[in-house]
Amino acid sequence: MTNAIVAEGLVKHYGETKALDGVDLAVRTGSVLGVLGPNGAGKTTLVRILATLLRPDAGRAVVGGFDVVRQAHSVRGQIGLTGQYASVDESLTGVENLLMIGRLLGLSRKDAKARARELLANFSLSDAADRAAKTYSGGMRRRLDLAASLVGRPRLLYLDEPTTGLDPRARLEMWDIVRNLVADGVTVLLTTQYLEEADQLADEIVVVDHGKVIASGTPAELKSRTGAQTLAVRPVDPAELEIVAKVVADVVRTTPEIADSVVTAQVTDPAALPAVVRRLDDAEVAVAELTLRTSTLDEVFLSLTGHRTEQEGVPA
């Protein structure tokens, strides 16, 4: 078992702000690592360091056997970068964008053209190949971005929030593309704000907050620690919130949260839902809403750190 990416003690400051505060991680060759965290957690800074775009203030990282600072050029030869900040030229067509990158990577004009057409076909962009990228929809733009990072057939791919801002259908398409790449043996480091995305794609997940890794493990391990799903119960009469909270606490054996006339709790056992229904029925509590849904990142954070995610600049 070898690691395609190893990072040890990465630190990066922006003035007073510590974007990264000692991050360690390892990505096994051929696997997908999901880096999960809210806005401002340091995910993009981490990707930029691993992609040689930024030098760490301390710590080191080895990508594909090369040091990201001392052997940056060799690292660049193995990686593909797609993300919020690595983009295509909007004033060029799809084919021109890919042709440019092929030429920069040393392909002949003929080979670069063939590779461009092949990638555009793979990503359902053939019809738009000769249109300027600025006319593309959000989903098409992301697919072209991804295609651009694959021209050189990298063994390692960084996807920095590949589906942020995409509609659900485009998100599902993006997931399929990523799964196909993984099936071809590409190692993927994926950053995301969505627990579901990490759960769907990643073999292992690291959760980052304030520039630190606060939890790591397989999706199943994290779920068993944090509660994969959230149970929410809203009684018809808000006066019965206390009774509902007690019932939920008895079943899931944790202290539930009460906010906005809804009782919520993290659950790992699927039998919790029918149990709660039975007990509420016994207690003759009328319920306006009763749902079991995937935990949001906020809820995972709450159970991992005891604090909610903070929006940038706005105290929670």
Residues 99 and 113 sit within 8 Å (Cβ to Cβ): yes
Contacts of 289 (CB under 8 A, 6+ apart): 232, 233, 234, 262
- Taking CB under 8 A as the binding criterion, the range among 93-101, 168-176, 203-211, 269-277 that sits at the site for another protein is 93-101
d(CA 296, CA 143): 26
d(CA 3, CA 311): 33
Which structure tokens are listed for 132? 């300027």
CB of 29 or CB of 122, closer to another protein: 29
Write the binding mask 58 to 77 for another protein: x where contact by CB under 8 A, - elsewhere: -------x-----x-xx-xx
Write the binding mask 152 to 181 for another protein: x where contact by CB under 8 A, - elsewhere: x--x--------------------------
Q: How far is the CB of 104 from another protein (least distance, A)?
A: 5
103 lines the binding site for another protein (CB under 8 A): yes
Write the binding mask 231 to 260 for another protein: x where contact by CB under 8 A, - elsewhere: ------------------------------
Distances (CA, A) of 17 to 11, 20, 216: 11, 9, 24
* Total number of residues that touch another protein (CB under 8 A): 38
Which residue in 17, 55, 69, 90 binds another protein (CB under 8 A)? 90
CB of 191 or CB of 230, closer to another protein: 191
Q: How far is the CB of 201 from another protein (least distance, A)?
A: 21
- Taking CB under 8 A as the binding criterion, the range among 79-87, 136-144, 210-218, 304-312 that sits at the site for another protein is 79-87
Which residue in 21, 60, 67, 87 binds another protein (CB under 8 A)? 87
Q: How far is the CB of 78 from another protein (least distance, A)?
A: 7
Residue 196 is inside which H or E element, if any? helix 195-201
SS3 17: strand
The identity of residue 267, as a single letter, is V
Long-range contacts of 304-312 (CB under 8 A, 24+ apart): 304/207, 304/214, 304/215, 304/225, 304/226, 305/209, 305/214, 309/38, 309/209, 310/38, 310/40, 311/38, 311/39, 312/39, 312/40
93 lines the binding site for another protein (CB under 8 A): yes
Which residue in 6, 11, 26, 105 binds another protein (CB under 8 A)? 105
Which residue in 106, 168, 313, 315 binds another protein (CB under 8 A)? 106
104 lines the binding site for another protein (CB under 8 A): yes
Considering only CA atoms, which of 200, 154, 142, 158 is closest in space to residue 45?
158
- Taking CB under 8 A as the binding criterion, the range among 20-28, 78-86, 222-230, 244-252 that sits at the site for another protein is 78-86
Please report, as residue ranges, which positions from 29 to 58 form the binding site for another protein (by CB under 8 A). Answer: 48, 51-53
Q: How many CA atoms lie within 13 A of 2 on its CB side?
A: 8
Distances (CA, A) of 44 to 17, 38, 66: 14, 11, 21
Residues 25 and 212 sit within 8 Å (Cβ to Cβ): no
Instruction: Supply φ then ψ for residue 54, to 5 degrees.
Output: -140, 140
100 lines the binding site for another protein (CB under 8 A): yes
Binding interface with another protein (CB under 8 A): 48, 51-53, 65, 71, 73-74, 76-81, 83-93, 96, 100-101, 103-106, 132, 134, 148-149, 152, 155
